[in-house]
A = this chain, B = another copy of it.
Amino acid sequence: MKNYCFGVDVGGTTVKIGLFDREGTILDKWEIPTRTEGNGEKILPDIAQALQKKMEEKGLQKEDMAGVGIGAPGPIDKDGTVYEAVNLGWGVFSLRDTLQELCGMPVRAGNDANVAALGEMWKGGGQGYRNLVLVTLGTGVGGGILVNGEILNGATGAGGEIGHIHIQDGEEDACGCGNHGCLEQYASATGIVRLANRILNATDEDSVLRQGKVSAKTVFDAVKAGDQAAVQIAEAFGDYLGKGLAAIAGVVNPEAFVIGGGVSKAGDILFSFIEKNYRKYVFHGSRNARFTLATLGNDAGICGAAKLILE
């Protein structure tokens, strides 16, 4: 009986791996380093070896395994073809077929943000929803979209790349992608710091944020303490993000937005800034979408990868 599977989440510095049963219980999890040298050619053999070793350790045979799900950063289409994953050094190739050959088990592959959305739907903040958008507010803004429970990969694996939706005309700073005025420039952790500096520089208003280094965390801590400048920053953040999520809803009409990433550690207070702006900008057909927090943290990727192969 194929009662087990592996979920693999490839990051720029470490590969997270989990051993799961069919119900999604994490029986074991560990990490190996991501060796990106030589155009990342060692990454998949390293993973195959790690899986083999774990199976020996646990006394598992290939017949016991449903297979391997894997998420990786970069555009990956529904057939598991990668279209250049610059962080890993990968060009265009079939991640699915290559890993399948190396480990001798069925493999399914997807973009890491999309796979994380699947994880949150299965075991995290998105439980109970089949049409959801995972919004990851970290260094950048990432997204994973599920339509009827399935990942929306898009034609070339760039589905859900919501961080680069144009949201502001006339922005002078360039986004990492080269464009100007991307959602990521206002709603990521670094975007919030940019907004904070702009707003603090524009007034003399007293603020705890003027003492020490500003971060997304210090901004929302200050909001909770009632700091007015911090509230103004959070309002600007909420306006941009609400507007961006409303545009997304105008395309996919989700049941729920699941908010994850480092910024989401601020907790429910985020919703008071995002939701009212979302409802202001959105088409009425999507006005009732729910907002929830992601709950799986770093396990979302391995959970979603496991779900990918168990489907």
Contact = CB atoms under 8 A, between A and B. Distances in A.
A164 B251 contact: no
A55 interface: no
Interface in A144-184: 145, 147-148, 152-162, 164-166, 177-179, 182
Contact of A131 (B154, B179, B243): B154
A119 B150 CA distance: 24
Contacts of A285: 75, 83, 154, 156-158, 161
A247 interface: yes
Given A166-B281, A283-B179, A251 B159 contact: yes
A14 B292 CA distance: 43
> What class of interface size applies to chain A in its complex with B?
35 or more
A138 interface: no
> Which one of A75, A78, A284 has the highest number of Cβ atoms from chain B below 10 Å of its Cβ?
A284
A168 to B, nearest CB: 9
Given A75-B285, A285-B158, A152 B250 contact: no
A162 B182 CA distance: 19
Interface in A132-148: 145, 147-148
Nearest to A285: B158
Contact of A252 (B75, B78, B152, B164): B152
Contacts of A246: 165-166
A253 interface: yes
A248 interface: yes
A275 interface: no
A292 to B, nearest CB: 14
Given A78-B148, A247-B165, A247-B166, A157 B253 contact: yes
Contacts of A254: 154-155
A285 B288 CA distance: 30
Copies in the complex: 2
Contact of A147 (B152, B156, B178): B152
A253 B155 contact: yes
A289 B164 CA distance: 16
Given A78-B148, A152-B147, A162 B250 contact: yes
Q: Which of A145, A177, A182, A252 counts the most chain B CB atoms within 10 A?
A: A252
A221 to B, nearest CB: 29
A286 interface: yes
A9 interface: no
Interface in A262-285: 280-285
Interface string A106-149: 00000000000000000000000011000000000000010110
Interface of A: 75, 78, 83, 130-131, 145, 147-148, 152-162, 164-166, 177-179, 182, 243, 246-255, 280-286, 288-289
Given A154-B285, A161-B286, A162-B250, 9 more contacts: A147-B147, A153-B253, A155-B253, A156-B285, A156-B286, A165-B247, A165-B283, A166-B243, A166-B247
